[in-house]
Amino acid sequence: MIFSTKPEMATQEIQPNETLTNLKAESDTLKTKLEDERAKLHDVELHQVAEKVDGLGQFIMKTRRTLKGHGNKVLCMDWCKDKRRIVSSSQDGKVIVWDAFTTNKEHAVTMPCTWVMACAYAPSGCAVACGGLDNKCSVYPLSLDKNENLAAKKKSVAMHTNYLSACSFTNSDMQILTSSGDGTCALWDVESGQLLQSFHGHAADVLCLDLAPSETGNTFVSGGCDKKANVWDMRSGQCIQSFETHESDINSVRYYPSGDAFASGSDDATCRLYDLRADREVAIYSKESIIFGASSVDFSLSGRLLFGGYNDYTINVWDVLKGTRVSILFGHENRVSTLRLSPDGTAFCSGSWDHTLRIWA
Amino acid sequence: GASFGTGMERVIVAMQDPDMGMKMRNQRLLITVIPHAMTGNDVIEWLIQKYNITEEEARHLGGLLVQYGYIYPLREPRSLLLRSDDSPYRFQTPYFWTSSRWPATELDYAIYLAKKNIRKQGELVDYEKENYSILHKRINHTWDFVVMQAREQLRASKQRRKADRIVLECQEQAYWLINKPCVNMPLYYHYTTLGRNRVKSSICLESFMKYSEQYLHHDPIMSGCLPSNPWISDDTSHWTINTDMVGIPTRLRVERWSFSFMELLNDSMGRREFMIYLEKEFSAENLCFWVACEDLRHGESSKIILKVEEVYKNFLAPGAARWVNIDSKTMERTLEGIKRPHRFIMDDAQMHIYFLMKKYSYPRYLKSELYKNMLAKAIVPQETKKSVFPFMRRQRHSSPSPAMVTQATEDDGKAKGAGPTGTSSTTNSQI
């Protein structure tokens, strides 16, 4: 979907002497109208359309690698474009770069703060970004000289007024998108540390973000403690779509591979699917037996499967189309805090408060 | 002088031409007389005459001029419609033109709200009150500056004649109505969302079926991968046969180029093949232009001006070596915008060329001998048989780090082939 970067056309009529009660009533009427409009086009449910699709057979995925080395809770991880390396960050301030295939550690940095809640691998594979309670996002170029202190070349890029919850490079090493406990997201120029655009609209901490894989490459989605998932135009800073159906904090958002939808994971123990063209929630992935929050979600390459890491130490695998759970994966000994599919879809990695990361395939 | 960025601005300038422009007169607004104004009817009539168009088209064009803030209504300033009656309108000063003031900053908006608040208690409407308190909280550290600026501007405006003051206030109000930063979700958001084009569920959901089906065999977790999944078998062949520089690609990979234009461009081998095809068709400049625009959009801020100059020189200047064929409107707009270069200045042109390639060159490429040959010679790897000795685990080999590959390139000054990572140091990776 191509969003115009021109200003929205406002055609409302607001009389100068309108009272607060009138405006509130007007707002409520509009919200109802909006739901009606959305509902008019909702002529069928996803699982109904999916009836004609074959069900999934027995599903076997196992832990293929266990990465041990963090001294405390693993909070975040990201894959390198080479499909085998990863970067992970933990509560004790350590950021580690691994070759997950051999399980060798290749680089390690100790951050000056604890709770490094966000980390990201640069597209070139030559740097990593990370941050957390220091309210910053810093970029470390990866040096192959084992004697070199990585921290010496550290570059401070982003500056928020509260903790950094997530970060992601955009299509190049030159720009970073961040989200923060200060309620905003921001786009930064890495070289100069300049703020390029800020995104205001969440009413509370922003916990997660994901960049859209669209042709025009101009949007991203964020989720927050205000239970909202917002879609943003990176160029104008405007919020162009907003979804509020979760009943608690949204911990994770991830685009469906085509870019036409995104999934969310929340403390309300559900994952949901939102379609951007229909402008509504189209599926809820939940079970009565799942009562702990979902911390992180990602799709398989074809978008048929949704992997959810939960606070009850498990990973649930969902059939995106039919809405059913196809498998539950045990292994971690504490909360699953982070989960991402590898760039070529051959595996996914989960990180946990049990200090380890696991590769599943 | 003012720079005329857009087609709309061109119209506005024509409307204000002393000889052929609109006949303006004094319009009455309550008890004040506003000079240099015109009626909605006047605007429509003039447009019909000048451009030899129908009334319907004139209303549409005139409506756009109002909605984008080039003309604003004196009566009912929040109703941004062009009425075909004697409702009075006025030209917005170029200072406030949407194109020249993009993007509106929060600071400016805060100053505007503070001014309104100081000028008359209770003058802020509810969403403005909301925005005011949000901004007050958010940019609290600069609030002294905001109030000071607001007071200064009010003091300066008191020195003007009442008619001028009203005009300026109207201009400002009109500007902020259109350009206010999205501070939170004010009422107008609901109006704009109501107007959004939505797609029926059945159509959206059908597309999920199609997508999953199309990509089913490309999804290693769903369908396995050949010769084997490296994480399961410890054999990295699957990665080595899919690298960037591999001689012969796999069949699945080449098939995927046909799924969408984006898939073709996202694979560096696919992009190379497409470039070869375009060279045969003498339209390679389109892809080169698109790549240069991507580099501009995602590159360092410090290199923007230089890159814009390069793009202009190579692709847009008259007689440029790789001149791209953009429609005249987009070209005009882009050339004007280049005078004040920023990272998005090529967006319109880039999108135009992208969709040109997508609509014409891409489908032709898929039907070409070049593509068909590639598909025919593409390999389908043999599935690795399970080891005869199941207890003997394969040795897991290391691979060169992408950081090392690039460093080596910098050290030697030679372009080395990319390692198994598939990342070339000269291209920006696309997602």
Instruction: Give per-residue pLDDT as tens, B11-43.
Output: 887 887 877 888 877 776 666 777 678 889 999
How far away is chain B from the Cα of A57, in angstroms, using its nearest Cα?
A: 10
Q: Is B33 on the interface with A (CB under 8 A)?
A: no
Is 80 exceeded by the pLDDT of residue A8? no
Instruction: Tell me which chain B residue has its CA closest to the CA of residue A57.
Output: B222
Within 126-145 of B, beta carbons closer than 8 Å to A belong to: 126-127, 134, 138
Beta bridge partners of A261: A275
The owner of tokens 């460093």 is B407
Binary contact (A8, B238; C-beta < 8 A): no
Instruction: Tell me which chain B residue has its CA closest to the CA of residue A275.
Output: B204
How far away is chain B from the Cα of A308, in angstroms, using its nearest Cα?
A: 15
Binary contact (B399, A213; C-beta < 8 A): no
Task: Report the distance separating Cα A112 and Cα A7, nearest Å.
Answer: 42
Q: A210-237 burial, b for 16+ CB within 10 Å, e for fewer?
A: bbbbbbbbbbbbbbbbbbbbbbbbbbbb
Q: What is the pLDDT of residue B240?
A: 95
Binary contact (A200, B181; C-beta < 8 A): yes
Q: What is the pLDDT of residue B191?
A: 56
- Tell me the count of A-B CB pairs closer than 8 A: 300
Binary contact (B396, A101; C-beta < 8 A): yes
Over residues B354-374, the mean pLDDT reads 96
Beta bridge partners of A65: A359
Residue of B87, B121, B183, B193 for testing the chain A interface, max A β-carbons within 10 Å: B193
Q: Is B321 on the interface with A (CB under 8 A)?
A: no
**DSSP β-ladder status, A118-121 and A127-131:** antiparallel
Instruction: Tell me which chain A residue has its CA closest to the CA of residue B220.
Output: A346
How far away is chain B from the Cα of A209, in angstroms, using its nearest Cα?
A: 16
Binary contact (A104, B431; C-beta < 8 A): no
Over residues B213-221, the mean pLDDT reads 96
Q: What is the pLDDT of residue B94?
A: 60
B108: how many CB neighbours lie within 10 A of its CB? 18
How confident is the model over A14-41, as pLDDT tens digits? 444 445 566 667 767 877 877 787 777 7
Q: Is B231 on the interface with A (CB under 8 A)?
A: yes
> Could you tell me which residue, B216 or B187, shows the higher pLDDT?
B216
Q: What is the pLDDT of residue B190?
A: 54
C-beta separation of A79 from A343 below 8 A: yes
How confident is the model over A270-287, as pLDDT tens digits? 999 999 999 999 999 999
Is 80 exceeded by the pLDDT of residue B306? yes
C-beta separation of A119 from A74 below 8 A: no
Q: What is the pLDDT of residue B179?
A: 67
Q: How many helices (H) and strands (E) does chain A have?
A: 2, 28
Binary contact (B302, A238; C-beta < 8 A): no
Kindly state the percentage of chain B with pLDDT values over 70.
Answer: 79
How far away is chain B from the Cα of A42, in angstroms, using its nearest Cα?
A: 5
Q: Is B402 on the interface with A (CB under 8 A)?
A: yes
How confident is the model over A321-333, as pLDDT tens digits? 999 999 999 999 9
> Could you tell me which residue, B169 or A181, shows the higher pLDDT?
A181
> Could you tell me which residue, B59 or B184, shows the higher pLDDT?
B59
Is 60 exceeded by the pLDDT of residue B160? yes
Binary contact (B192, A9; C-beta < 8 A): yes
Q: What is the pLDDT of residue A67?
A: 98
- The top-scoring range by mean pLDDT among A169-173, A206-210, B22-26 is A206-210
Task: Report the distance separating Cα B325 and Cα B331, nearest Å.
Answer: 9
Binary contact (B215, A50; C-beta < 8 A): no
How far away is chain B from the Cα of A38, in angstroms, using its nearest Cα?
A: 8
Q: Is B30 on the interface with A (CB under 8 A)?
A: no
How far away is chain B from the Cα of A108, in angstroms, using its nearest Cα?
A: 14
How confident is the model over B307-361, as pLDDT tens digits? 999 999 999 999 999 999 998 899 999 999 898 888 899 999 999 999 999 999 9
Kindly state the percentage of chain B with pLDDT values over 90.
Answer: 38
How confident is the model over B375-403, as pLDDT tens digits? 999 999 998 865 555 566 677 888 888 88
Is 60 exceeded by the pLDDT of residue A352? yes
Q: Is B98 on the interface with A (CB under 8 A)?
A: yes
Q: What is the pLDDT of residue A24?
A: 63
Binary contact (A50, B209; C-beta < 8 A): yes
Q: Indicate the residue of A43, A124, A302 with minimum beta-carbon distance to B423.
A: A124
Q: Is B105 on the interface with A (CB under 8 A)?
A: no
Q: What is the pLDDT of residue B389?
A: 56
Q: What is the pLDDT of residue B141?
A: 61
Q: Which of B107, B257, B299, B126 lies closest to A189 in space, CA to CA? A: B299
Q: What is the pLDDT of residue A120?
A: 98
What's chain A's average pLDDT? 90
How confident is the model over A250-275, as pLDDT tens digits? 999 999 999 999 999 999 999 999 99
Poorest-confidence range of A147-156, B227-236, B245-254? A147-156
Band of pLDDT at residue A291, cut at 50, 70 and 90: very high
Q: Is B259 on the interface with A (CB under 8 A)?
A: no
User: B187 contacts in A (CB within 8 Å)?
Assistant: 12, 14, 23, 26-27, 30
> Could you tell me which residue, A171 or A306, shows the higher pLDDT?
A306
User: B411 contacts in A (CB within 8 Å)?
Assistant: none
Q: What is the pLDDT of residue B393?
A: 66
Binary contact (A320, B190; C-beta < 8 A): no
